[in-house]
Chain A
């Protein structure tokens, strides 16, 4: 066999391999449209892959799905005023071949429920309730108003940005939770070993409760903030850079460096802020620009 023949055979083999792999993992794009009424619901269960939800115009739900291979199908149904979407894994599917990435447009008042193991979950510019659940999924929620936001993750990081007038409940075993410009009647974060970071002004008359067993809790607020603050770390440390007016009565013993309890700003419009950790550090700081 001549050198030229060998070269041709090699090129052919490479081309054939490329074509075969392209066939095995051929991406497919699918789109589904649903007309819904006010306050519709969208539920997506996607074991592998990302889900992004943005507002649509009118009462239309548009679901764009990018399927990684023919090992996965998209089951969808309109039930009443609710659209249910399920990534249906076929035999032999794994995290790569079973991946589906969704981009969804939904009415701004729709309630959203998303499940994913590993993909990014992103919801923005809505005012319907949001419920997100994932193991290692990265969660990003932004520009949400007047809604319930419930999030559960195993170790995926959670970021909330500009959530106004929200009822926010976040549970994460070990993922870090970051809140920027988040306020409302109830803002609660519970973590076992993840850190919690809050940057904002604690609103007014809200109930803010951040608890982590071993993660650090860091709150950065403007000097104009009004809040009743209680912070305690059983085995860690508590620091504050903001002068607090001490409370007359406290429900626990205040030890320097591990607990604080006082009021900042105007008590009449104060929110209640509770920061708890067992072995993490708690730091209450004034925003650097002031």
Chain B
């Protein structure tokens, strides 16, 4: 499987867990990094499950940003907002909308929690969702550990330990944002927690680091 084929196959299986995808990811740090970042975006987007459809202005804003960046053009036949996966620069073109999606996702998540909290302080104590980020994203932390176990068994325990800690970090950061949605620092900390998890996936899937 080539890099292009891997990227195209992500439309069918975005977690990169098929046998062919895994074979490719073992030997391609760049694709591994992309998949790790997509998984974290998917995790973040999972927070939106209960949210209403975003205001059309949100989509218009994204579209305007993408036009300004030159990632889409107004008169093209292909009206999809998503850039092609087939070209040499598809990485960079994918990451901009992906980052935008992540930011919008987080913003909507925070807005949703802000509105919830405004309606009553008792909502602050609402327990965390039972469904985990990983389950929402269609991936399992165990898959990651299994991959590390195959590549470098000696590191599996370290990754398991770090995975446990970073999941707790995300949960604590979410709780802090829920307690005070206007706290800019708390929101930034939540983003950093997600980035830590992204980095863990990136390191785990980067064969050169094992």
Contact = CB atoms under 8 A, between A and B. Distances in A.
A232 B173 CA distance: 13
Interface in B166-210: 166, 168-169, 172-173, 176, 180, 182-185, 189, 192-193, 195-196, 199-200, 202-203, 206-210
B162 A171 contact: no
Nearest to A230: B185
Contacts, number: 88
B200 A251 contact: no
B158 interface: yes
Interface in A114-147: 115-117, 133-136
B165 A214 contact: yes
A133 B206 CA distance: 11
Interface in A211-249: 211, 213-214, 230, 232, 234
A281 interface: no
Interface residues of A, number: 30
Contacts of B185: 230, 232, 251-252, 274, 276
B195 A190 contact: yes
Contact of B169 (A171, A213, A230): A213
B51 interface: no
A252 B169 CA distance: 20
B53 interface: no
A161 interface: no
A154 interface: yes
A173 interface: yes
Interface of A: 45, 47, 115-117, 133-136, 152, 154-155, 171, 173-174, 190-193, 211, 213-214, 230, 232, 234, 251-252, 274, 276, 278
26 contacts: A47-B210, A115-B206, A115-B208, A117-B208, A117-B209, A133-B206, A134-B209, A135-B203, A135-B210, A152-B199, A152-B203, A154-B158, A154-B203, A155-B162, A173-B165, A174-B158, A174-B161, A174-B162, A192-B165, A211-B189, A213-B168, A213-B193, A232-B185, A251-B184, A276-B189, A278-B173
